[in-house]
Amino acid sequence: MANEPKKSSRRDFIKISSASVIGLSLGALIPGGKWLENEVYAIPASQGYLLVDTKKCQGCSTCTIVCSLAHEGKQNLSLGRIQVQQNPFKSFPDDIKIDQCRQCAYPACVTACPTKALHADKKTGVRLVSPDKCIGCQRCMEACPYETSNAAWNHEDKNGHKCDLCLNTPFWKEQGGPNGKQACVQVCPVNAIAFTKEIPVQAGDGGYKVNLRDESWKQLGYPIS
């Protein structure tokens, strides 16, 4: 089981813009990076991020089902790349937890992959898995700093997979990725999921801090701040 994520400051993420790459000369070390003689270490920043308001989410798992349909062509909660966890022994808002890839600035899953199956897309920076290169070692899952790991296991194809912001959805005709649509955002019945190109503010638990509730939710008894 992965360790809890370390707290990251806003300053750590401001260092990277969505339109640039990180470049560090010899003498500086990125966590999980490598020393490169006479070269620079560069990881493209992702051009998009998924935000989920867990205080608004109703736990219906529609996002998980549509993710499985778009990517795998079948309804299977285990194959969804965004997962909804519900704990009936906890009270609101801790009874629901959403696991979606954070498109980390310093992706531990990418650096842990021994075959480079998990990589950053050159055009969009989105962190992807190439199934043909994956050997099923699950090191990406072990390296992910979040609990539960946001790099997941495809139990049918026996390889790793993760959210790609719908960049590659063979069973969905819409254009996806940072410049297109994301299936989970489109179908969420309460609009608890949003997409942004700006690096999100980090909450205390290492997740993204987001509030997608308006005044109408106050009438239903939900906090709106």
The string of pLDDT tens digits covering residues 68-78 is 999 999 999 99
Give whole-number Cα distances, 161 to 4, 45, 62, 109, 151, in Å.
21, 19, 19, 11, 6
Amino acid residing at 128:
L
Query: What percent of the chain is predicted at pLDDT more than 70?
Result: 80
pLDDT band (50, 70, 90) for residue 225 = confident
Q: What pTM, to 2 d.p., does this model score?
A: 0.79
Residue that the structure tokens 């987001």 belong to:
210
Query: Is pLDDT at 141 greater than 60 in this prediction?
Result: yes
DSSP labels, 35-96: --TTS-B--BPPS-EEEE-TTT-----HHHHHHHHHHHSS--GGG-SSEEEE-TTS-TTTTE
Give whole-number Cα distances, 3 to 47, 141, 165, 211, in Å.
27, 11, 25, 26
CA 222, chain centre distance (Å): 26
pLDDT in tens, 144-198: 998 888 999 999 999 999 999 999 999 999 999 999 999 999 999 999 999 999 9
CB 40 within 8 A of CB 25: yes
Q: Tell me what the pLDDT averaged over the chain comes to.
A: 83
Beta 193-196 vs 159-161: how paired, if at all? unpaired
| d(C-alpha 2, C-alpha 5), whole Å | 9
Nearest residue to 142 (alpha-carbon basis) of 134, 129, 152: 152
Nearest residue to 64 (alpha-carbon basis) of 85, 47, 46, 43: 85
Average pLDDT over residues 201-224: 85
